[in-house]
Amino acid sequence: SEMCYTLDAAELMAKETFVKVIDNESLLRYSKFLTDVFNEPINIDSDIPASVILFDAMDRSGYVKKSGRSRCTKQLSDDMNTFYNHIGISDVSSFYQIQRVLIGERFEFTVVCQIAFYLGMKAEDLIKPRISSSQIDREKSSHYMTDKPKIDWAKYDIELATALEHFAYDIYNGISSGRPERVSEKLIYREFKLPKHRLEVLPRCQSILARYSETYEEAWARRIIWAYKVLKIEKNDGQVYASDLRKKAGVKMKNAEQILPYLFLHTEPETANIIKNIMIPLLMP
């Protein structure tokens, strides 16, 4: 309810216009694979999950034991890390992400594509699979077992904490969205699709959330400071008005009185006083 949507000209936002030529053949093939999958029309009548399609490729690549009742997911994860690091990809899917996809709980585009590309699949194999009912049954029997291994919570916490740290930093500083936002527990649960109370058993993740925790008023103050600095650049150091701040920051100025004390916590006194003087008229009856 406090978002103010605006459109920005691409010519102003795209700062880097130079062309970088890449001669890494493996990296080029990987990039083309992602593009082909993204652009390939999807058959909306197909109800075959990605986990079944990838399991079939794993089976053909030797990552499923002959009995069909056990997958070599850890080996697959280790081999993928080696492969992608070798071709120059640093953001490789974690064991946790791969595992969630392979049991049908997650469907991230990059994770699915990294698994498929490593297993030698084509874009068409992923989007228009030829899977029989017997193959679907074989996949189901591979993970609906009574002797499932216990979760290594310490390892799970470390792997999730790495992804959470990047996510929280991004949201807090507005790297992807362009504007700083508040990192909330609800947002984390929704982003990572975590079961209720899962963070309670993950101390590393809890500490990250605590580090980024703040009140709404403090988050609004950070957004107003960010908006002021951006406006000063856009206006070539011209006059910035309260209406400009409200529109750019997406913060209702009826909360100005609660926001003012936090300005001095997140910027230098001189800037905080300037913003305060812009907002003070809003406090007058």
In angstroms, the CA 216 to CA 138 distance is 50
| pLDDT value for 131 | 79
| pLDDT value for 68 | 67
Whether 223 and 249 have beta carbons less than 8 Å apart is answered as: yes
pLDDT in tens, the chain (285 residues): 566 777 888 877 777 777 778 788 999 999 999 999 999 887 777 778 888 888 888 988 888 877 767 788 889 999 999 999 998 888 888 888 898 888 888 888 999 999 999 999 988 888 888 877 877 777 777 664 444 557 788 999 999 999 999 999 999 999 988 899 999 999 999 898 888 788 989 999 999 999 999 999 999 999 999 999 999 999 888 888 888 888 898 888 787 888 999 999 999 999 999 998 988 876 655
Q: How many CA atoms lie within 13 Å of 66's alpha carbon, on the beta-carbon side?
A: 0
Whether 111 and 54 have beta carbons less than 8 Å apart is answered as: no
In angstroms, the CA 178 to CA 144 distance is 43
**Amino acid identity of 209?**
L
Could you tell me the pTM of the whole model?
Answer: 0.49
